[in-house]
Structure 1
Amino acid sequence: MTTVGFLYPGHFAEDDFPRMEILLDAVRLVVNRTEVDEDAYRIDALIRTGSPEHLAAGVEELRRAGVEAVVWASGAGSFLYGWEGAHEQTAALARAAGVPASSTSFGFAHAIRELGADRVAVASTYPEGITALFADFLHAAGIDGAVTTHAAPLGSAAEAAAWGLDQVKELAAAADRPEADAVLLPDTALHTAGHEAELEELLGKPVLTGNQVAVREGLRLAGRRAWSPRLGRIFAAREAPPAPVSVWGEGRERAHSGRRAGPRDVRE
């Protein structure tokens, strides 16, 4: 059985992970909640959730659980650090955990590339300024096509966690564009587990959600493929699709190790 660990900020939609564990075969998802000093969708408060001291405090429990990889399961708590800063964040986490580490933001980058999507639409519950920084992160990750954004700004993760499926559907539909190859919902405080296929049926295209791609990223680092049609197209194939020919570019770092990577050195 593959065991993957997640550091999740606060008490909002962490119950998505046991739901996904049930939907996946022979996978154990261990969640350790980290401290949130202030539940507010402001840049300063969100950056503090991903501070080294907060992440380091949650690692030991995951180490004892025997995890094979660790993912920082926060959207804004990772992409707000910027491309280089997010690499430093996960490199420090990997050193502390003693296993490969990554974050939700890198999970989006890898999932988009696996789907072969060139243009994406972002359905965000963050304020517009924070949403724009997520688009900047995707561009830095090598998503060269158009990234359109739609923000339905909330004030906190607690507000996002209180949303029902109908509200999530409305947000995704409002953000979708005919030219978009996929729709992204980056907020890990939204409850989406097991609803991805329903969202994809509504929109007629792949949908990537924060907690879904966090799990996909952890399994990728552990070298494990998993299948569940209820978790959307990224989990719909028993075999990995051919890797896109595009690469991230020379000089960018690997999300899971912190070492400098060459142009073809990014692990798929």
Structure 2
Amino acid sequence: MTALGFLYPGHSAEDDYPRIEQLLGSDVRLQVVHTDIGEDAHRVDALLETGSPARLAAGVEELRLTGAEAVVWACTSGSFVFGWEGAHDQVRALARAAGLPASSTSFAFAHAVRELGATRVAVAATYPEEVAAHFSAFLAAAGLDVVSARSSGVATAAEAGTWGREEVLALARAGDHPAAQAVLLPDTALHTAAYVQDLEAALGKPVLTANQVTVWEALRLTTRRLNAPALGALFTKEPLVQAPAT
């Protein structure tokens, strides 16, 4: 049994995690602990507070009691707004507080793109333009070429959490670019776990979504790899462990 821990901000699309656990179909348990986000706003100042050390540390003790072997801060915007170096500092502080290997969704995206062998990406973001620009800057600092970036102006995580399949598909299509080798949807408040295969079929290329890459990153931290085609190309690349058919 491998237990993976996630600090998830507030309540929006956390039901992606039990869905992903089911799709993995293996001896992996996804343990979600909610953190207090403060003000629910896709603004840089509010996001810096959402990802503050005190808010993350408050959830660490509960997470440790779950027996988690690694922890991921399951928030993209609450990590990349700190910048490349600041996001590293955030993860190091989380690792020290938890006494576990740690990462965040922002780094999960960078690592997942490299796993796919891609260098050129398109961003399809729910966020307002200012926040989406911070994500593009983070990816550029990771050595990736952001060939296009679309922002949707969604002001809160609560609003993003209400989007369904058609809205998610429309977002991905609108954000795609012919030169992009992969399309990134960076909001963990957005329900995407049930739609990854549909997204990749519609775009004809790998699609990376926030909760999907967050779980993949936790598996990476524990050196686990699972073959789960329902979770897209990221989960079918040279798997070392086969998930049973469901």
Q: TM class, shorter-chain normalised?
A: over 0.9
Q: For residues 228-243 of structure 1, what are the structure 2 equivalents within 5 Å?
A: 228-239=228-239
Give the percent of matched residue pairs that are identical in Structure 1 and Structure 2. 62
Q: Tell me what 1:189 maps to.
A: 189
- Note the residue ranges of structure 1 that are not aligned, 5 or more in a row: 241-268
Q: Tell me what 2:206 maps to.
A: 206
Counterpart contact for 2:149–2:175, Cα < 8 Å: yes
Give the TM-score normalised by structure 1. Answer: 0.88
Counterpart contact for 2:200–2:232, Cα < 8 Å: yes
- Note the residue ranges of structure 2 that are not aligned, 5 or more in a row: 241-246
* 2:226 partner amino acid: A
- Aligned equivalents of 2:201 and 2:178: distance in 1? 15
- Aligned equivalents of 1:203 and 1:39: distance in 2? 31
How many correspondences in the alignment? 239
Q: SS state of the match for residue 29, structure 2?
A: strand
* 1:181 partner amino acid: Q
Give the TM-score normalised by structure 2. Answer: 0.95
Counterpart contact for 1:119–1:180, Cα < 8 Å: yes
Q: Report the more deviating stretch, 27-36 or 229-238.
A: 229-238
Structure 1 position 61, deviation (Å): 1.1
Counterpart contact for 2:123–2:146, Cα < 8 Å: no
Which digits, 9 at most, give the CA deviation of each residue in 1:199-233, with x for residues without a partner? 00000000000000000000000111112111010
Q: 4+ runs of 1 displaced by more than 2 Å? A: 237-240
- Aligned equivalents of 1:141 and 1:38: distance in 2? 29
1:8 is the counterpart of 2:37: no
Counterpart contact for 1:131–1:149, Cα < 8 Å: yes
Structure 1 position 195, deviation (Å): 1.3
Counterpart contact for 2:139–2:146, Cα < 8 Å: no
Q: Tell me what 1:36 maps to.
A: 37
1:57 is the counterpart of 2:58: yes
Q: SS state of the match for residue 142, structure 1?
A: coil
- Aligned equivalents of 2:215 and 2:181: distance in 1? 21
Q: For residues 125-136 of structure 1, what are the structure 2 equivalents within 5 Å?
A: 125-136=126-137
- Aligned equivalents of 2:129 and 2:34: distance in 1? 27
State the superposition RMSD in angstroms: 0.9
Structure 1 position 174, deviation (Å): 0.4
